[in-house]
């Protein structure tokens, strides 16, 4: 199978290559793709070197699959061109997520809905993925009505420029600023740009994407905060259900959900943390407790590596479903 990774030299692109190798995805020919300034560079994958090519060249090579992580503008322009050439595109940007004709997929939730008609498939926002995966089994059992989520998001969600800013601040070095304020020893209630309603785009992604993936009747309100953390995103989630629940059953449902690891024993200081989630593919859930201020309401703390399950791993898992369903040609078995 010919696989193109668009944005191969970027932070998420690098993790995509790593995850493809770790999961032994059936690649017979890798096509690393990047912007013109990176064309001609060499990257290594599975013991071989590959030359980075541009988008036009990549299309002419007719890949079976293209994993996009090169920004919304690039995806809007180029994903349809790849699709028109017969390539199935899995896009990690926000470009196609809310498009009515494009499926927004978390494999453990709605991956089986994919069909041969889906030539462009959207990967949800990193913070949305961990939220909806934790909500899924609970919504199926108790019917979620309203979700209040506050995020504590890693600087890696911004990219290399943010990690460099943090490094510079900790080393006392002047440099370019990815954020309007220092991030070291600070928290910025400012993820993405502000919209007319006073929320940021990141906060509205959590609202809109949750509705599209899980249930349009769920009301979601969010506050997204950038914190000086590298390992992953954390979320404080308060969810009100139509029906009452049993805490032990909640734990059992989460424990049995594919893609979730339960870490919930406060008596021994066991709870999810970014330092534990970094480099792992699961979503970690803990601090599960009843909200004693109103009926049928639960609090939980959810952590995930935003570059892996929040981006690269989720995209590769989508591709694995396509192979499993025979929607991508392959002579190998995933």
Catalytic residue ranges: 126, 233
Q: Scan for tokens 């978390």, then name that residue.
A: 106
Which residues face 12 on adjacent strands? Answer: none
> Which DSSP state fits 191?
-
Evaluate whether 9 touches 70 at the Cβ level (below 8 Å).
no
Rounded Cα distance between 25 and 334, Å, is 6
Burial of 326 (0-12, 13-18, 19+ CB in 10 A): exposed
Pairwise CA distance, residues 182 & 179, whole Å: 7
For CA atoms 321, 61, 91, 116, the dihedral sign is: negative
Q: Any residues with CB less than 8 A from the CB of 137 and at least 6 apart, and which?
A: 253, 254, 256, 257
- Alpha-carbon distance of 297 to 289, in angstroms, equals 9
- One DSSP character per residue, 94-122 reads STTTT-TTS-B--HHHHGGG--TT-SEEE
Q: How far is CA 295 from CA 27, 143, 213, 240, in A?
A: 51, 14, 26, 8
């Amino acid at each position: 199978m010919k696989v193109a990774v668009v944005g191969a030299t970027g932070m998420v692109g690098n993790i995509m290559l790593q995850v493809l190798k770790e999961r032994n995805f059936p690649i017979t020919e890798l096509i690393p793709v990047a912007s013109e300034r990176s064309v001609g560079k060499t990257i290594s994958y599975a013991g071989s070197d590959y030359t980075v090519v541009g988008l036009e060249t990549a299309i002419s090579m007719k890949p079976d699959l293209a994993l996009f992580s090169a920004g919304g503008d690039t995806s809007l322009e180029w994903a349809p061109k790849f699709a028109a050439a017969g390539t199935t595109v899995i896009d990690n940007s926000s470009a196609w997520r809310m498009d009515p004709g494009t499926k927004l997929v978390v494999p453990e939730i709605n991956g089986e809905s994919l069909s041969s008609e889906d030539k462009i498939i959207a990967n949800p926002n990193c913070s949305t993925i961990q939220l909806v995966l934790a909500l899924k089994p609970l919504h199926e059992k108790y019917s979620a009505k309203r979700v209040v989520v506050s995020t504590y998001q890693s600087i890696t969600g911004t990219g290399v420029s943010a990690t460099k800013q943090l490094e510079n601040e900790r080393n006392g070095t002047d440099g370019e600023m990815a954020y309007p304020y220092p991030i070291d020893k600070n928290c910025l209630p400012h993820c993405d740009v502000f919209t007319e309603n006073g929320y940021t785009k990141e906060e509205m992604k959590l609202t809109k994407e949750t509705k599209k993936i899980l249930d349009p009747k769920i009301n979601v309100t969010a506050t997204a905060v950038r914190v000086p953390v590298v390992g992953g995103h954390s979320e404080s989630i308060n969810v009100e259900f139509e029906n009452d629940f049993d805490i032990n059953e909640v734990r059992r449902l989460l424990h049995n959900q594919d893609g979730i690891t339960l870490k919930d024993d406060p008596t021994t200081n066991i709870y999810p943390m970014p330092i534990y989630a970094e480099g792992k593919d699961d979503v970690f859930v803990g601090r599960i407790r009843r909200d004693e201020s109103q009926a049928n309401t639960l609090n939980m703390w959810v952590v995930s590596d935003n570059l892996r399950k929040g981006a690269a791993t989720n995209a590769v898992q989508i591709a694995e479903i396509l192979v499993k369903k025979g929607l991508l040609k392959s002579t190998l078995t995933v």
